[in-house]
Structure 1
Amino acid sequence: MESEISKALTQWEKEYFGRGSVNVKTDIVRNMIIVILKGILTPAEQELAKDQQGVLDIKNMRASLIERGNHQIKGIIHQITREVVESFHTDISVHKGERIIVFMLKENLEKKLT
């Protein structure tokens, strides 16, 4: 299931952002799904990230974009897990080109899978 989530989110990124991450790792822990996406920045964003204002611009733009696509992301997780996503939290490290997403589920999925 973790692999399926990783593949689905990579595909969503490709369709939504026009580019997917280079590496994705998903872990299911209790009622959380933790996804780490690496290599997410475009070449233009890498150039922009060379100064502090560029870093802030990237973080703000990516946060806005992911917020606008949140219903799609929650739908992907629900479709794969059949669990309700109560909330999700995300942040990006522009310097490392990584994003972390934590999906908070209504139920303990890890317990159901064991």
Structure 2
Amino acid sequence: MTKGQIEAKLSEAISKFEIEVMGRGPKQIRTFILQDLIVVRLNGFLSPSERKLAESNQGVELLKKLRTTLFENARNDLEVLVKTVTNTDIISIHSDVSTRIGENIIVFTVGENLEDKLKAKLGD
């Protein structure tokens, strides 16, 4: 598979994961493979009630705690999903939510330079 195909497959799998685990999928998702990083950018994933909750500082704090807890509880499943698609070990996962613009960024650190590995496969 090409880099673009893997990025698309990861976007599709993570979007499905978001629907199944977090209760709602994003309106837009983009995945980027950059050396030993996989960066996933999800936009439009907050529900109307979450957007309303995010109008106050206390609501933002509550929403972030909830999303972080859900994410941490499903971390192993997400790790397996990404490892299955990329065939590489996951070293770490980081995630942050912007309630102001309804964006979530997930960054995976993988065990090898995935970008170079994919380029080498294309050269074979």
Coarse TM-score class (shorter-chain normalised): over 0.9
Aligned to 1:44: 49
Q: Mark the runs of 5 or more structure 1 residues left unpaired by the alignment.
A: none
Kindly provide the amino acid, as one letter, of the partner of residue 9 in structure 2. E
Kindly provide the amino acid, as one letter, of the partner of residue 24 in structure 1. I
Kindly provide the amino acid, as one letter, of the partner of residue 33 in structure 1. I
- Give CA-to-partner distance per residue, 1:22-79, whole Å, 9 cap, x none: 1000000000000000011011101101111101111111011100000011011000
Aligned to 1:34: 39
Q: Distance in 2 between matches of 1:90 and 1:45?
A: 18
Q: Distance in 1 between matches of 2:58 and 2:23?
A: 24
List 4+ stretches of structure 1 deviating above 6 A.
Answer: none
Kindly provide the amino acid, as one letter, of the partner of residue 49 in structure 1. A
Kindly provide the amino acid, as one letter, of the partner of residue 103 in structure 2. E
Greater Cα radius of gyration, structure 1 or 2: 2
Q: State TM-score, norm by structure 2.
A: 0.90
Count of residues in correspondence between the two structures: 114
Q: Per-residue deviation at 1:18?
A: 2.0
Q: Percent identity?
A: 38
1:25 to 26, 30, 34: 30
RMSD over aligned Cα, in angstroms?
A: 0.6
